[in-house]
Every structure is written in structure tokens, then in C-alpha cells.
Amino acid sequence: MIRCGYCGHEFPEEEGIRSCGRCGKPGSCRMVRCPRCLYENLPEPQVIKKIKKVFGSQK
Ligand SMILES: [Zn+2]
């Protein structure tokens, strides 16, 4: 889950708007936009995903 740094809305990474392609960053943009306010958030770090997997809290 990603918590929006602007409005605090929590959403799964899949629900976020990815690859905006308009921010001018080189390569593919990895930012994930909040579906509610469109604030750009950093994607969930892989490390955290692994930790979640270990504890089996998701899915
Ligand atoms: Zn937001």
C-alpha cells in the first residue's frame, strides 16, 4: 500500500496512476500518482514488499 504524501489516501500500487510520461524525467517515470488528488508519490520500495511477503499480510 502507498500512503499519499499529500492527502493521506492509502491505495494499492496497482490503483495508482503510473508512468505519467509528462514529467520530463529521463527514462520511464516510476512515480505513482494518487488516484484521489494526483499527487506524485514514490513507488513502494521492493524491500517493503518482500517484508510483507514474509509476514503474509497481503494476499
Ligand atoms: Zn493524494
pLDDT (tens digit per residue) in 4-15: 999 999 999 889
Instruction: Tell how far the Cα of 9 is from the centroid of ligand 1, in angstroms.
Output: 5
Instruction: Tell how far the Cα of 29 is from the centroid of ligand 1, in angstroms.
Output: 18
Instruction: Tell how far the Cα of 45 is from the centroid of ligand 1, in angstroms.
Output: 18
Mean pLDDT across the chain, nearest whole number? 79
Per DSSP, 55 falls in state H
Instruction: Tell how far the Cα of 40 is from the centroid of ligand 1, in angstroms.
Output: 8
Label residue 28 by pLDDT band (50, 70, 90).
low
Residue 3: strand pairing partners: 10
Tell me the C-alpha distance between 46 and 26, whole Å: 21
Answer with the residue of higher pLDDT: 24 or 39: 39
Residue 39 carries which side chain, given as an amino acid letter? Y
Residue 9: per-residue pLDDT = 96
Tell me the C-alpha distance between 25 and 40, whole Å: 13
Label residue 22 by pLDDT band (50, 70, 90).
low
Residue 34: per-residue pLDDT = 92
